[in-house]
């Protein structure tokens, strides 16, 4: 059975709840599930305002999902939404590891307690649904890359700490209550609808305002600036990997989903500047204490167990986002 046939067989006609379904990855996931024939409910508090509505308006141009405007801290509403679902994709979160330094309590509430609320709602409704939890490569902290799923979790900063603790709750709810969940550690996802506080969007906005993009990194012992680098993964690949994991895994498990081709922030800035026909030059900024210089994943497990490989080049993803942003105008 090929990949498309497997996904259609798994999700066609099934009831799928997507928390954070009006967000970046969530809205793309909703769109793909609807394409596969699923009955999808978006559960989102629409906290991003016009950014959230813009995302779902793109979906409603083609499909007709159910929309519940609700917060994952509204436990009774969440519990009602989860009743009768076949799959729960939990992507509602506060996403910026930098903003988390300013709002640590909010990140603990949304990214950790919100996840526990989803798990507890599944337990109390006797749900037989399978859950996907959207985690992050940030849980690996400052370990030497490449990062494998069996490496210890050593988070740096409140964002990573909240994600790591939420992963552990997923594990415990499987162990003691049989709630099946697949943890996906996303690695720097980019593409259309990228959140406005993420690096690709920030670069683009600065260039549009004729401001140089800021490249984060550090000075080495010789005084040379080393740019941060990461595996930049197109959102379509991230969605494919997520769906394959839900289709193929029937227990608690963890997967890196990434295109493991390192790209420096400096190179990303150069690609963006060139694509936008700007003459700006990047400026170099010391990375924050909790940040890691190299974010690089080992995706051998996803390849072996899910048959997943990311195929979309990072340069394409950068240009794809910029073209989409220019088409839609000033949305932020």
Q: Of 110, 167, 159, which Cα lies nearest the Cα of 290?
A: 159
Q: Are 306 and 245 in contact (CB under 8 A)?
A: yes
Would you give per-residue pLDDT tens digits along the chain (332 residues)?
Answer: 799 999 999 999 999 999 999 999 999 999 999 999 999 999 999 988 888 998 999 899 999 999 999 999 999 999 999 999 999 999 999 888 878 788 999 999 999 999 999 999 999 998 899 999 999 999 999 999 999 999 999 999 999 999 999 999 999 999 999 999 999 999 999 999 988 888 888 889 999 999 999 999 988 888 889 999 999 999 999 999 999 999 999 999 999 999 999 999 999 999 999 999 999 999 999 988 888 888 899 999 999 999 999 999 999 999 999 999 998 866 54
Q: Are 183 and 133 in contact (CB under 8 A)?
A: yes
Name 107's Cβ contacts closer than 8 Å, sequence gap at least 6.
Answer: 94, 100, 158, 159, 162
- H-helix or E-strand spanning residue 8: helix 3-11
What's the CA gap between 149 and 91, in Å, rounded?
Answer: 20
The CATH number of the domain covering residues in 3-186+232-257: 3.40.50.720
How many helices (H) and strands (E) are present in the chain, helices listed first?
12, 15
Name 64's Cβ contacts closer than 8 Å, sequence gap at least 6.
Answer: none
What's the CA gap between 83 and 93, in Å, rounded?
Answer: 21
Q: Are 72 and 66 in contact (CB under 8 A)?
A: no
Q: Of 204, 199, 232, which Cα lies nearest the Cα of 216?
A: 199
What's the CA gap between 29 and 150, in Å, rounded?
Answer: 27
Q: Are 88 and 19 in contact (CB under 8 A)?
A: yes
Rg (C-alpha) for the chain, rounded Å, is 19
The DSSP result for 117-156, as a single string, is HHHHHHHHTT---EEEEEEEGGGGTTPPSSB-TTSPP---
């Amino acid at each position: 059975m090929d990949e498309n046939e497997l996904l259609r067989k798994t999700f066609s006609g099934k009831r799928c709840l997507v928390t954070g379904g009006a967000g970046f990855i969530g809205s793309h996931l909703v769109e793909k599930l609807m394409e596969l024939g699923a009955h999808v409910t978006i559960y989102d508090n629409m906290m991003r305002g016009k950014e959230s509505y813009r995302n779902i308006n793109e979906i409603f141009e083609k499909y007709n999902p159910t929309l519940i405007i609700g917060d994952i801290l509204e436990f009774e509403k969440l519990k009602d939404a989860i009743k009768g679902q076949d799959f729960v994709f939990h992507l509602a979160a506060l996403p910026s590891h930098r903003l988390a330094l300013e709002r640590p309590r909010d990140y603990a509430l949304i990214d950790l307690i919100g996840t526990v609320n989803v798990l507890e709602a599944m337990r109390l409704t006797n749900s037989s649904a399978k859950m996907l939890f959207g985690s992050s490569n940030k849980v690996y902290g400052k370990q030497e890359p490449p990062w494998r799923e069996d490496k210890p979790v050593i988070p740096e900063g409140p964002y990573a700490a909240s994600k790591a603790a939420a992963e552990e709750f997923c594990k415990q709810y499987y162990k003691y209550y049989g709630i099946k969940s697949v943890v996906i550690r996303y690695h720097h996802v980019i593409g259309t609808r990228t959140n406005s506080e993420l690096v690709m969007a920030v670069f683009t906005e600065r260039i549009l305002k004729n401001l140089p993009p800021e490249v984060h990194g550090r000075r080495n012992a010789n005084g040379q600036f080393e740019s941060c680098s990461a595996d930049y993964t197109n959102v379509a690949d991230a969605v494919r990997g997520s769906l394959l994991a839900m289709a193929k895994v029937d227990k608690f498990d963890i997967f890196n989903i990434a295109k493991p081709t390192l790209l420096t922030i400096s190179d990303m800035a150069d690609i963006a500047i060139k694509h936008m026909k700007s003459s700006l030059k990047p400026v170099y900024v010391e990375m924050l204490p909790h940040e890691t210089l190299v974010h690089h994943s080992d995706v051998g497990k996803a390849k072996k167990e899910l048959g997943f490989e990311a195929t979309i080049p990072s340069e394409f993803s950068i240009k794809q986002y910029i073209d989409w942003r220019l088409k839609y105008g000033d949305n932020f």
